[in-house]
Amino acid sequence: MGRPATAQNKKNNCKQPPKIITQPSFSEEDQKKWKEKSVHGRIAIVINEAGEVVQAQVIAASPKGVEEALVDAAKRAKFQSRDGCGELKSDIFFNLDR
């Protein structure tokens, strides 16, 4: 009687944005390729209930040609799981000035 229903806990948890566990990051190859450039971008992502980035799409990116590296970096991000909340849409912003 003293415990709230599980569904209520999940519903409250769903109102909060998920915490990031692993930051987006370039692969070693992409780090070498773009290390001398200023990289800027905005990637639209979809995060599943397990906290994985399951979709990533470029909204804006600079310099030309960095789009694939930004998508790959965004997909490396990991968020805290949110069981019962469904998928979440968000954006990741990159601003790497060299």
Number of domains in the chain: 1
**Which structure tokens are listed for 49?**
């209930």
pTM of the model: 0.82
High-pLDDT (> 70) share of the chain, %:
87
Output the pLDDT for position 49.
95
Question: Looking at beta carbons, which pairs linking 66-70 to residues 24 or more positions away fall under 8 Å?
Answer: 66/34, 66/37, 66/39, 66/41, 67/41, 69/26, 69/27, 69/30, 69/33, 69/34, 69/39, 70/39, 70/41, 70/43, 70/94
Strands (E) in 1-98, as ranges, are 20-22, 39-47, 53-62, 78-79, 88-96
- 76: containing domain: 17-96
- The reply to whether 5 falls in a domain is no
Q: pLDDT band for position 8 (50/70/90)?
A: very low
Which CATH number is 40's domain given? Answer: 3.30.2420.10
- The reply to whether 6 falls in a domain is no
- The reply to whether 70 falls in a domain is yes
- The reply to whether 92 falls in a domain is yes
- The reply to whether 43 falls in a domain is yes
